[in-house]
């Protein structure tokens, strides 16, 4: 509670610059024309004029205004004191042509609104930015109900998922993105890397739920972050917190912490994790701690995983995190593309052979879960395999195991009905271990306290529990080859109540 109050006081003190006033620069005054014309140069010229006005102190801030209508653009950057303002019924369309995204001096990772080293900047209004996701479809995979995207892999040194992000701010301060709709991003919708002071408020972020890697928003290092009153519906993670870079297209990072975060009153739908804390390295970088986080008043629906803690190879800890007043509903996705198998809470510390520096794996500690209601097709998972996790505290938590979607971890594939434990991403097999399901699975080593925690097994409409449902709580002993560390999970507090209901 003290941490939550401290964060609220901090953010209230930062609120004075959330709604700036200043001069306006309409892009049509600089030659922009509705589609099919390309308006990149006009927008860049308007940004330059707005920036000049701020530099001359003609205005403390300035707005580059997109009027009503549809305007096509390639990549452009904002500047210090310059905001992009999307008028009502204004739509900024992202180009699908590679030449409209200039390559920098390092490995290419394109983005549409791509700003670095700026202060007091952002996006506001009531219009939309649209990445034209459907124009990136290469084919359809019916087995996994998945749209396969085309990619620019190999272009300008790009590796892997090479499609433009919609919005990116790097090494900036005091960034606000409010009121607008961000939709149909070919890749991540938003990325904030090493930004000091972020306000996201009243956003609507949408994309096809058949589309991979169109995360709602990713934060990589930084501090003083608020995500308030937003709606996310995407085919990949909703909100991601990382304390270092997570992709080979990005330059190495020193593992700067990510801290002082408030997420409040948001609704999330995701085919992976609705909210994810992660330390995983696909490139050459380090991960610091993710700390001082308050997640409150969140509604999660139709998601493959609720709230996930994915510690894989980072040195830093996930610590001092409060999760409260959360309503979760998770179900098995169709197909195997998505990391997530209907877990409402997923706390996983698994050592990786790619641990940064070869040793010193961080852990997950001092996390409080309060007033949580979850209905799920798979168990909540507490897994301390790489290193003991905890202390974790659960208070007033209701977990219900139910059948209401795909029903089994087969996820539409043939084979007998089964539950599973999903460890992905990992560098061992099986990454998804088929087997039993429970309301809560506790394995490996750690410390957890439970107070007024209930696990309910809900009888399916058939009147028969699935054969793979094991119990309310499962505490397996893992094989030595899988987990050679001492498996001692200390449980305290009050007994977990087990119930059955029709």
Tokens, residue 144: 């996994």
Q: What is the pLDDT of residues 118-157, one digit of tens each?
A: 999 999 999 999 999 999 999 999 988 899 999 998 887 7
284-316: pLDDT as tens digits: 566 789 999 999 999 999 999 999 999 987 778
pLDDT confidence band for 356 (50 / 70 / 90): very low
* Size of the chain in residues: 502
Helix (H, G, I), strand (E, B), or coil: what is residue 470? strand
- Contact criterion met (CB below 8 Å) for 160 and 249: yes
Is residue 10 within 8 A of residue 226, CB to CB? The reply is no
pLDDT at position 279, please? 83
Distance CA 318, CA 389 (A): 10
Full-model pTM: 0.94
Which residue reads 């927008």 in tokens?
43
Alpha helices in 336-469 (DSSP H): none
What would the two tokens of residue 153 be?
């892999």
Could you report the per-residue pLDDT of 397-444, keeping only the tens digit for each?
999 999 987 778 988 788 888 999 999 888 788 889 999 999 999 999
What is the spatial distance between Cα 290 and Cα 268, in angstroms, rounded to a whole number?
21
Cα(332)–Cα(344) distance, integer angstroms: 11
Cα 381 from Cα 258, distance rounded (Å): 24
């Amino acid at each position: 509670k003290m941490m939550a109050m401290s964060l609220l006081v901090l953010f209230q003190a930062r609120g004075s610059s959330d709604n700036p006033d200043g001069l306006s620069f309409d892009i049509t005054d600089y030659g922009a024309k509705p589609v099919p014309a390309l308006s990149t140069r006009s927008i860049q010229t308007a940004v330059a004029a707005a920036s000049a006005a701020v530099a001359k102190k003609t205005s403390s801030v300035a707005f580059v205004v997109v009027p009503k209508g549809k305007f096509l653009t390639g990549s452009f950057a904002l500047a210090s004191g310059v905001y992009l303002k999307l008028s009502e019924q204004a739509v900024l369309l992202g180009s699908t042509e590679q030449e409209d995204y200039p390559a920098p001096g390092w490995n290419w990772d394109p983005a549409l609104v791509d700003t670095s080293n700026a202060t007091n900047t952002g996006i506001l209004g009531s219009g939309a930015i649209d990445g034209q996701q459907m124009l990136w479809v290469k084919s359809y995979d019916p087995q996994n109900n998945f749209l396969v995207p085309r990619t620019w892999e190999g272009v300008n040194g790009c590796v892997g998922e090479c499609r433009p992000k919609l919005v990116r701010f790097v090494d900036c301060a005091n960034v606000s993105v409010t009121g607008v709709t961000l939709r149909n991003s070919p890749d991540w919708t938003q990325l904030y890397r090493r930004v000091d002071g972020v306000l996201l408020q009243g956003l609507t972020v949408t994309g096809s739920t058949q589309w991979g890697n169109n995360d709602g928003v990713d934060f990589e290092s930084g501090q003083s972050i608020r995500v308030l009153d937003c709606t996310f519906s995407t085919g990949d993670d909703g909100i991601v917190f990382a304390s270092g870079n997570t992709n080979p297209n990005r330059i190495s990072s020193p593992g700067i912490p990510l801290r002082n975060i408030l997420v409040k009153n948001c609704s999330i739908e995701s085919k992976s994790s609705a909210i994810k804390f992660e330390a995983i390295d696909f490139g050459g970088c380090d991960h610091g701690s993710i700390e001082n986080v308050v997640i409150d008043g969140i509604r999660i629906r139709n998601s493959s995983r609720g709230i996930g803690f994915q510690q894989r190879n980072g040195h830093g800890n996930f610590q001092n995190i409060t999760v409260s007043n959360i309503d979760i509903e998770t179900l098995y996705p169709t197909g195997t593309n998505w990391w997530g198998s209907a877990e409402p809470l997923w706390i996983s510390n698994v050592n990786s052979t790619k641990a940064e520096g070869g040793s010193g794996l961080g852990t997950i500690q001092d996390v409080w879960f309060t007033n949580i209601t979850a209905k799920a097709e798979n168990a909540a998972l507490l897994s301390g395999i790489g290193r003991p996790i905890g202390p974790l505290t659960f208070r007033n938590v209701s977990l219900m195991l139910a059948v209401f979607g795909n029903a089994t971890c087969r996820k539409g594939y043939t084979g007998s009905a089964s539950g599973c434990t999903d460890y992905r991403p990992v560098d061992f097999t099986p990454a998804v271990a088929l087997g039993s399901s429970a309301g809560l699975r506790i394995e490996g080593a750690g410390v957890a306290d439970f107070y007024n925690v209930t696990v309910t097994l809900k009888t399916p409409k058939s009147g028969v529990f699935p054969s793979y449902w094991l119990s309310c709580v499962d505490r397996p002993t893992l094989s030595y080859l899988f987990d050679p560390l001492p498996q001692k999970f200390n449980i305290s507090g009050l007994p977990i109540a087990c119930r059955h209901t029709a």
